Amino acid sequence: MEENQICITSVKNTALEVLGIAQNPENAPANKTVTALADETFNAEKADRVVIYNPDAVAWWIFEKYKDMFAPALEKSGAVMKMRSVMPSVTPVCFGSMYSGVMPEKHGIMKYEKPVLTVETLFDVMAREGKKAAIVSTTGDSISKIFLKRNIDYFIYPSVRLVNRRALRLIKEDRHDLIVIYNGNYDASMHATGPEGRLAIKSLGKNIKFYCKMADAVEKYMKNRNVVYGFCPDHGCHAIDSGRGSHGLDMEEDMNVVHLYSAKRG
């Protein structure tokens, strides 16, 4: 891994800092690139809303190789970063770290399993501060399971299409201070056809298209709000035999992911 590369554990305190909520000093520090972007955009004011899109398994090497596909998303983004995942680089472990701000050995998910986390998460802090948070995810996926039993709103649907439709509706309604949206379609396609398989690349295109729709919805329906929004995958991926794809190893393809952020002033 590259020296001084920022870890996905920074997402929790980054969200709290831009919202002006006290951070847990025992968690990974906030991402200063994102907080500086917010400070500059908001003229040192704080964000009113944070919207985080979590497309599964979008690796940095995929971003670099298919950068032309990402062009519309890059136009919507003020910061582009190569981020480091955690080991083992599998979905529940990674999202456990992303939203708890700690490494797997501290939050307790050390393999591909989906228990409800008992450590403090971003969602717990939001509820404690009297803020409204929402998770929008697909049935049975990690984000729909490991963050249960919080005083937040859960919108769990059987398909990505329904998830994204509800997510855009929540942005339009503008009632939540934090919205977290999960799409697992690229990951599923990548496992089946390889990271660069036709179906996988089609799914990646859908993820990019949704991120752009999400950004447009934020601009249109949260126009009077200061908003930070991001494209934040959990881990990367690599090709294996038989034309399939995988992840979970301590290798650059699995550990390096692309995160995009933007800040919009109300």
Q: Name the H helices within the chain.
A: 11-19, 32-42, 60-65, 67-75, 91-100, 104-107, 122-128, 142-145, 160-173, 185-193, 198-221, 252-255
Q: How far, rounded to the nearest angstrom, does the alpha carbon of residue 147 sit from its chain's CA centroid?
A: 14
- The answer to whether 244 and 196 are in contact (CB under 8 A) is no
Residues of the chain with pLDDT under 70: 1-4
- By DSSP bridging, strand 79-84 and strand 153-157 are unpaired
Q: Give the pLDDT confidence of 73-90 residue by residue, as tens digits.
A: 999 999 999 999 999 999
Run of H or E including 137: strand 133-138
Q: How far apart are CA 27 and CA 245, in angstroms?
A: 32
pLDDT score, position 148: 98
pLDDT score, position 182: 98
- The residue assigned the tokens 């990951």 is 187
Alpha-carbon Rg for the chain, nearest whole angstrom, is 17
Q: Is the four-CA dihedral 36, 13, 246, 88 of positive or negative sign? A: positive
Q: How far apart are CA 224 and CA 243, in angstroms?
A: 48
pLDDT score, position 4: 58
211 by Cβ neighbours in 10 Å (0-12 / 13-18 / 19+) ranks as buried
pLDDT score, position 5: 86
pLDDT score, position 2: 57
What are the strands of the beta sheet with 49-55, ordered from one edge?
79-84, 256-264, 227-231, 49-55, 178-183, 133-138, 153-157
pLDDT score, position 44: 84
DSSP state of 217: H
**Domains of the chain listed by start with CATH number:** 8-264 (3.40.720.10)
Q: Count Cα atoms within 13 angstroms, Cβ side, for 122.
A: 32
Q: How far apart are CA 211 and CA 205, in angstroms?
A: 10
pTM for the full predicted model: 0.97
Torsion of CA 22, 27, 31, 32, to 10 degrees: 60
